[in-house]
């Protein structure tokens, strides 16, 4: 039935034929057919649209296809397909992956029939494969352009959002807007698309004095092919992160006032490297590049930002402050972030939740390991008591003085002379801080505690390092005892040689971190069930690898090389050998870089001789060079 006299032109931007037949078929089943249907082919190679166009024309509307390989987004596609002189009252924009429900257009027209203030109307979006699952009902953003979902993943549509009317923005998939508003705004920003174009159009329509509404009874089943990267051979939704981030940054710079734009630009420049480091720290290296390139792309196109601001200014009739009531409040952002984290944690626990039998087996295994480790640690401590240790003498500097010595090019030996900085003093400063230096504990006392605990700590580090190679309790205990009570460790302990003791503690941890960085560490596999309950726990290589472990290995190598410079060239040779067998070779750079940057230009360092061979440069009597 075509009782509505308003002329509606539906425009579909077609990228490929994967989803287009569904969308055209859905348009043919509309309760209220569009008066004209324009299919814009934006693919580079060209699509065979003949049969599809004929089938769509047989369903009712006038159909024509337009070839526009130069179109970069939906806005370009609409501009290419729309006849400037053609009569039309409304434009209905659709993506090729967003088939509408039969009542969609009729409901949109009904919602806009009795008002002249509504210029943009949008649809409720549901999952294409599960129409009872919600995707979005309008769009809300913060003042900074960050989009809030407001809907939980997989949330069932029970009409809970059907009371929503006026919104900040709507999606372009299923957007109905007046031809007059399209001509006034000139379409979405040519830089945007497929992300952020709906928000841009809606925001400028709001600033032009019009209303933007969502019509929950008008439903679009959206595949979100671009967001989920479904068009590629190996879909990966993370590929869209860069373009989404770029759209957010562009919207911030174009939608703010002039002072606000300068502030957002400064924030963008400062936060780009921070976000890169955050992605690296959270083991998302593939997204770190996108964070940096998005900021660079926006920063390097000032003319596009200036043109976008000029277009928005030319159509604006109301001040920007009228939009404040439509922005999401800060507490909503915090709540959504918290809910997302809790949901992710719950899903992770549910996916990896062990059975009750497995938990009992793990508990029994942990008890046995803790018991054996306790015996090993007590044995190492007893051996230290029997061996005896000389006190750490001559260390009277604070942590700050030790840290200054680490970067000082002056060696206070004799009358003093220039020399290379010694990074080991920074390690000593850290030990003084950890052992209570800021609370008034003397440096000599704190470092004495480190020496006293060095043999048990060496045993613990060797225990965990051996666990990367074997899960056998006997072998791990043997490795820990041999490492902690070997001649080198006992001699260093008796002489209070902090450099050697630090190296003895960190070397096993370094080996463990490298093994975990490349997935060569063994992990427990609990096999506890009715059939194989007697088999208990076995082990296997984790195979995953960890970027955080690689970063930890880099820090440990820097500490170890500061204590024993001879370790660095040996470690670099080992890393070169690993480069021949591991797959994630970029992580080797992360392991080697900190130590290479902190290493001294020469191997001979000036330290006081005697029991406290690792104390800081003295300010009093001239120390002698022990190495």
User: 433-445, pLDDT tens digit by residue?
Assistant: 888 777 777 777 8
Average pLDDT estimate for 231-236: 84
Query: In b/e form, how buried is each residue of 215-243, taking b as 16+ CB within 10 angstroms?
Result: bbbbbbbbbbbbbeeeeeeeeeeebbbbb
Please report, for residues 185, 256, 569, the alpha-carbon distance to residue 192 in angstroms, rounded to integers and kept in the order given: 14, 17, 51
User: Which carries the bigger pLDDT value, residue 40 or residue 611?
Assistant: 40
What's the confidence (pLDDT) of residue 250? 93
Average pLDDT estimate for 490-518: 90
Per-residue pLDDT band at 394 (split at 50, 70, 90): low
Average pLDDT estimate for 256-280: 90
Q: Is the pLDDT of residue 426 over 70?
A: yes
Q: Kindly state the DSSP code that residue 221 receives in the 8-state scheme.
A: E
What's the confidence (pLDDT) of residue 538? 67
Per-residue pLDDT band at 590 (split at 50, 70, 90): confident
Q: Which two tokens stand for residue 579?
A: 């480069």
Q: Kindly state the DSSP code that residue 569 receives in the 8-state scheme.
A: H
Please report, for residues 301, 319, 391, 564, the alpha-carbon distance to residue 445 in angstroms, rounded to integers and kept in the order given: 59, 66, 9, 23
What's the confidence (pLDDT) of residue 170? 94
What's the confidence (pLDDT) of residue 91? 94
The C-alpha atoms of residue 92 and residue 30 are separated, in whole angstroms, by 13
Average pLDDT estimate for 510-523: 88
Determine contact, residues 419/601, Cβ cutoff 8 Å.
no
User: Which carries the bigger pLDDT value, residue 219 or residue 606?
Assistant: 219
Q: Is the pLDDT of residue 62 over 60?
A: yes
Q: Mean pLDDT in the chain?
A: 83
What's the confidence (pLDDT) of residue 530? 44
Q: Is the pLDDT of residue 616 over 50?
A: no
Please report, for residues 329, 544, 546, the alpha-carbon distance to residue 584 in angstroms, rounded to integers and kept in the order given: 42, 11, 10
Q: Is the pLDDT of residue 349 over 90?
A: no
Instruction: Of 198-212, 249-263, 395-409, give the lowest mean pLDDT range.
Output: 395-409
Average pLDDT estimate for 172-194: 91
What's the confidence (pLDDT) of residue 608? 38
Element (H, E) at 246: helix 241-255
Name the residue with tokens 């109307």: 121
What's the confidence (pLDDT) of residue 533? 45
Per-residue pLDDT band at 71 (split at 50, 70, 90): confident
**Over pLDDT 70: what percentage of the chain?**
86
* Strongest mean pLDDT among 368-372, 387-391, 492-496, 611-615: 368-372
Per-residue pLDDT band at 401 (split at 50, 70, 90): low
What's the confidence (pLDDT) of residue 573? 92
Q: Is the pLDDT of residue 624 over 50?
A: no
What's the confidence (pLDDT) of residue 405? 64
What's the confidence (pLDDT) of residue 124? 95
Q: Is the pLDDT of residue 545 over 50?
A: yes
The C-alpha atoms of residue 517 and residue 547 are separated, in whole angstroms, by 6
Q: Give the orientation angle of helix 547-563 with respect to helix 586-598, to 10 degrees.
A: 30
* Neighbouring-strand partners of residue 537: 526
What's the confidence (pLDDT) of residue 610? 37
Reference 410, options 566, 618, 614; nearest CA is 618
Per-residue pLDDT band at 448 (split at 50, 70, 90): confident
Element (H, E) at 28: helix 20-28
Determine contact, residues 99/105, Cβ cutoff 8 Å.
no
Q: Which two tokens stand for residue 147?
A: 């989009």
What's the confidence (pLDDT) of residue 407? 63
Q: Is the pLDDT of residue 418 over 80?
A: no
Per-residue pLDDT band at 115 (split at 50, 70, 90): confident
Phi, psi of 148 (to 5 degrees): -110, 130
**Over pLDDT 90: what percentage of the chain?**
35
User: 549-580, pLDDT tens digit by residue?
Assistant: 888 899 999 999 988 888 899 999 999 998 88
Q: Is the pLDDT of residue 8 over 90?
A: no
Instruction: Of 63-67, 392-396, 422-426, 485-489, give the lowest mean pLDDT range.
Output: 392-396
* Strongest mean pLDDT among 6-20, 134-148, 263-277: 263-277
Name the residue with tokens 């001789």: 609
Per-residue pLDDT band at 607 (split at 50, 70, 90): very low
* Neighbouring-strand partners of residue 410: 418
The verdict on pTM exceeding 0.75 is: no
User: 15-30, pLDDT tens digit by residue?
Assistant: 888 899 999 999 988 9
Per-residue pLDDT band at 105 (split at 50, 70, 90): very high
User: 362-379, pLDDT tens digit by residue?
Assistant: 788 889 999 999 999 999
What's the confidence (pLDDT) of residue 3? 57
Instruction: Of 81-95, 148-162, 259-273, 345-359, give the lowest mean pLDDT range.
Output: 345-359
Per-residue pLDDT band at 547 (split at 50, 70, 90): confident
What's the confidence (pLDDT) of residue 532? 46
């Amino acid at each position: 039935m075509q009782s509505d006299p308003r002329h509606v032109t539906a425009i579909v931007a077609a990228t490929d034929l994967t989803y287009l037949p569904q969308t055209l078929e859905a348009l043919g089943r509309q309760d209220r057919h569009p008066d004209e249907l324009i299919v814009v082919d934006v693919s580079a190679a060209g699509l065979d649209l003949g049969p599809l166009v004929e089938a769509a024309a047989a369903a009712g509307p006038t159909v024509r296809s337009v070839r526009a390989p130069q179109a970069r987004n939906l806005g370009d596609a609409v501009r290419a397909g729309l006849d400037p002189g053609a009569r039309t009252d409304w434009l209905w924009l659709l993506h090729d992956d967003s088939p509408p429900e039969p009542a969609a257009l009729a409901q949109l027209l009904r919602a806009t029939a009795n008002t002249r203030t509504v210029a943009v109307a949008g649809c409720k979006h549901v999952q294409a494969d599960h129409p009872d699952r919600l995707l979005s009902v309008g769009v809300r953003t913060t003042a900074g352009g960050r989009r809030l979902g407001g809907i939980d993943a997989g949330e069932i549509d029970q009409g809970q959002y059907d009371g929503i009317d006026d919104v900040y923005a709507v999606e372009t998939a299923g957007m109905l807007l007046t031809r007059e508003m399209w001509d006034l705004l000139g379409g979405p920003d040519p830089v945007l698309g497929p992300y952020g174009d709906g928000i841009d159009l809606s925001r400028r329509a709001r600033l032009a004095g019009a209303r933007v509404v969502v019509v929950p009874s008008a439903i679009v089943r959206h595949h979100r092919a671009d967001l989920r990267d479904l068009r590629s051979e190996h879909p990966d939704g993370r590929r869209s992160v860069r373009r989404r981030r770029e759209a957010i940054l562009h919207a911030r710079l174009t939608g703010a006032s002039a002072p606000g734009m300068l502030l957002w630009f400064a924030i963008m420049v400062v936060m780009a490297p921070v976000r890169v480091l955050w992605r690296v720290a959270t083991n998302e290296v593939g997204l770190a590049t996108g964070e940096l390139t998005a900021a660079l792309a926006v920063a390097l196109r000032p003319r596009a930002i200036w043109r976008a601001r000029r277009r928005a200014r030319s159509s604006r009739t109301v001040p920007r402050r009228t939009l404040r009531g439509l922005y999401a409040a800060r507490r909503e952002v915090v709540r959504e972030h918290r809910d997302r984290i809790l949901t992710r944690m719950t899903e992770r626990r549910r996916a990896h939740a062990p059975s009750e039998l497995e938990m009992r087996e793990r508990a029994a295994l942990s008890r046995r390991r803790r018991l054996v480790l306790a015996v090993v640690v007590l044995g190492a401590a007893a051996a230290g008591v029997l061996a005896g240790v000389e006190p750490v003498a001559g260390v009277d500097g604070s942590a700050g003085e030790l840290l200054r010595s680490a970067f000082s090019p002056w060696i206070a030996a004799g009358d003093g002379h220039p020399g290379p900085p010694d990074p080991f003093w920074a390690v000593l400063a850290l030990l003084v801080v950890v052992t209570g230096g800021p609370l008034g504990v003397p440096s000599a006392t704190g470092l004495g505690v480190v020496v006293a605990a060095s043999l048990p700590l060496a045993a613990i580090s060797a225990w965990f390092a051996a666990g990367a190679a074997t899960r056998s309790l006997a072998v791990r205990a043997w490795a820990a005892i041999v490492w902690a009570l070997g001649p080198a460790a006992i001699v260093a302990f008796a002489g209070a040689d902090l450099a050697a003791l630090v190296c003895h503690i960190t070397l096993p941890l370094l080996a463990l971190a490298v093994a975990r960085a490349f997935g060569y560490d063994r992990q427990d596999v609990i096999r506890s069930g009715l059939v194989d309950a007697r088999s208990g726990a076995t082990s296997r290589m984790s195979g995953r690898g960890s970027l955080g472990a690689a970063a930890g290995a880099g820090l440990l190598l820097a500490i170890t090389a500061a204590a024993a410079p001879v370790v660095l060239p040996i470690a670099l040779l080992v890393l070169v050998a690993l480069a021949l067998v591991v797959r994630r070779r970029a992580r080797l750079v992360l392991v080697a870089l900190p130590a290479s940057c902190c290493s001294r230009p020469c191997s001979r360092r000036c330290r006081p001789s005697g029991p406290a061979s690792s104390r800081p440069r003295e300010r009093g009597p001239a120390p002698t060079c022990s190495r």
